[in-house]
Amino acid sequence: MMARFTILLHKYFSPPLLSRPTLGGADVTPDPVDWGNVSGPTPLITTPETITGISTSVSFSFSIPSNTGLSFYYRKNSVSWVFVSSGTGSNLGSVSVSNNDVLEFKADNETTPGAVLTVDITNQSDGSALIDSITFTHIPPL
């Protein structure tokens, strides 16, 4: 009798299992990534990060809330760098990523010592969830 009572309590009073957001049944929330902030002489390039934990292609968007003179680029799977912007604004560009794609980012401009650029990377397929925020700081060589 006690076992049946415990099962009924569990069935009716347990919180629902937490699940990751899906798009038509597909998992659109990647595992956490952290490209980290980058400072030094240009070009400033992040460490490549592999996108995992998704079961369908998703769209990452780039917003630059602050920029004092750097140009921002991304590269997917070690192919050519793609220019995004040298200004500020929301949704300045996007990239479609699939599971196991590798992304890295670059900020460049040798003529503006001390320039700082911050970029927010959001997942448009997951309600604009913030994936990472990266700050690039140009420190000229001595």
pLDDT (tens, 9 = 90+) of the chain, 142 residues, equals 444 443 434 444 444 434 455 556 689 999 999 999 999 999 999 999 999 999 999 999 999 999 999 999 999 999 999 999 999 999 999 999 999 999 999 999 877 888 999 999 999 999 999 999 999 999 988 7
Instruction: Report pTM.
Output: 0.81
**Domains of the chain listed by start with CATH number:** 43-142 (2.60.40)
Task: Quote the CA–CA distance of 14 and 127 in Å, as a whole number.
Answer: 28
Sign of CA dihedral 75, 81, 82, 83: positive
Encoding tokens for residue 17? 């299992």
